[in-house]
Amino acid sequence: MNWSDVGSWIKDNAGTGASLVGSLLTGNVQGAVAAGVALVSGATGTNDPAKALQALQTDPATLIRLKELAVQEEASIRQHIQAIEEARLKDAQAEHEQTQLTIRAGDTAEDPFIRRTRPAQAWLSLVAALVYAFKVDAPSTEVLLLLLTLPWAYAGLRQIGKGVDALAAVRTAKK
**How confident is the prediction along the chain (175 residues), in pLDDT tens digits per residue?**
888 888 888 888 877 777 778 888 887 777 778 888 888 888 888 888 899 888 888 888 888 888 888 888 888 888 888 888 898 899 999 998 998 898 888 888 999 998 899 899 999 999 999 999 999 999 999 999 999 999 988 887 655 555 666 666 666 766 6
Q: How much is the pLDDT for 110?
A: 93
Q: Are 36 and 25 in contact (CB under 8 A)?
A: yes
141: helix, coil or strand?
A: helix
pTM: 0.53
For residue 164, the 8-state DSSP code is H
Instruction: Please choose, from the candidates 10, 22, 8, 4, the residue with its C-alpha nearest in 3D space to the C-alpha of residue 55.
Output: 10
Dist. CA 151–CA 47, nearest whole Å: 54
Dist. CA 82–CA 24, nearest whole Å: 10
Q: How much is the pLDDT for 135?
A: 93
Dist. CA 8–CA 114, nearest whole Å: 46
Q: Are 154 and 122 in contact (CB under 8 A)?
A: yes
